[in-house]
Amino acid sequence: MTKLSVNINKIATLRNARGGNRPNVVQTALDCERFGAQGITVHPRPDERHIRFQDVYDLKGVVTTEFNIEGNPTPDFIKLVLSVKPEQVTLVPDAPDAITSNAGWDTIKHKDFLVDVIAKFKAHGIRTSIFVDPINAQVEGAAHTGTDRIELYTEAYAHHYHTHREAAVQPYAEAARVAQQCGLGLNAGHDLDLDNLKYLKEQLPNLAEVSIGHALICDALYYGLENTIQLYLRQLNS
């Protein structure tokens, strides 16, 4: 079974556009769970342009499915995660000014840093995942950091899906196989949507979890949040 974790960053983006508390991030997380989501993902960034650090504290008290906090492990981020103690932390090497995540870790170059940070989280019982491109050497490098899982950065797959899906998925299937050989759990995310999700799932039999935000929230404008979550779950489970 592949779990669906709904990334609610975009709910916070909408709230922040006006100030106030509409839409309510905490209520949306609870509703996502009620509608079938098996996890909630947030990606607080240093400028708090969408999810704020306070949101993360508020969500911890109420999320009953898997809580996944993503982000660049700056000292502030590490402090937040160690204090909130989510089920999973996903380390993403995004620059503070990046519009969105745009690359995986160089797990070879940053091995010592990752080993150190991952050990801190694991010592507090938090499962770790690191965001990587579908490159075999980077997956093997991830295994040497001590992480529990990797999250494959699926932007390239999503981008090429409509032109040549077999070629687009090939490096991901290979990376998934290497992850399994190395004993790493497998997550995936970024730009996944109702078109490209099912094929990815079919080609990556060991896929434990996907985190999806942007497309899912856009789809919810048309189909409603409950229907949309059910549509995504159907792609994963049919």
Ligand X SMILES: NCC(=O)COP(=O)(O)O
- Would you name the residues annotated as active-site residues? 43, 70, 190
Instruction: Spell out, one character per residue from 157 to 196, where the chain touches ligand DXP: x when CB under 6 A holds, - when not.
Output: --------------------------------xx------
**7 with 211: CB under 8 angstroms?**
yes
3 binds, among ligand DXP, ligand X, none (CB under 5 to 8 A by kind): none
Bridge-partner residues for 149, per DSSP?
129, 185
If one asks whether residue 127 binds ligand X (CB under 6 A), the answer comes out as no
Spatial distance between the Cα atoms of 73 and 138, rounded to a whole number of angstroms: 18
Which does residue 149 bind out of ligand X, ligand DXP, none, counting CB within 5 to 8 angstroms by kind?
Answer: none
Question: Tokens 């999503």 map to which residue?
Answer: 158
Output b/e per residue, 22-50; b: 16+ Cβ within 10 A: ebebbebbbbbbebebbbbbbbbbeeeeb
Please tell me the distance from the alpha carbon of residue 6 to that of residue 234, in angstroms, as a whole number.
14
Judged by beta carbon, residue 20 or residue 197, the one nearer ligand X is 197
Residues 154-193, interacting with ligand X (CB under 6 A):
189-192
Give the count of beta carbons closer than 10 Å to the beta carbon of residue 81: 25
Cβ distance to ligand DXP smaller for residue 9 or 235: 9
Contact by Cβ (8 Å): 147, 128: yes
Cβ proximity to ligand X: between 141 and 213 the closer is 213
State how far the Cα of 15 lies from the Cα of 163, in Å rounded to an integer: 36
Q: How far is CA 199 from the centre of its chain?
A: 18
Total residues binding ligand DXP (CB under 6 A): 14
Whether the ω angle into residue 23 lies within 30 degrees of 0, i.e. cis, is: yes
Count the Cβ atoms, other than its own, within 10 Å of residue 1. 9
Contact set for ligand DXP, span 75-94 (CB under 6 A): 92
Residue 213 binding ligand DXP, by CB under 6 A: yes
x/- string (CB under 6 A) for ligand X, residues 49-88?
A: ---------------------x------------------
149 binds ligand DXP (CB under 6 A): no
191 is an annotated ligand-binding site residue? yes
Residue 70 binds to ligand DXP (criterion: CB under 6 A): yes
CB of 218 to ligand X, least distance (A): 10
Is 100 flagged in the annotation as binding? yes
Where is the binding site for 1-deoxy-D-xylulose 5-phosphate, in residues? 45, 50, 100
Residues that constitute the known binding site for 3-amino-2-oxopropyl phosphate: 7, 18, 191, 213-214
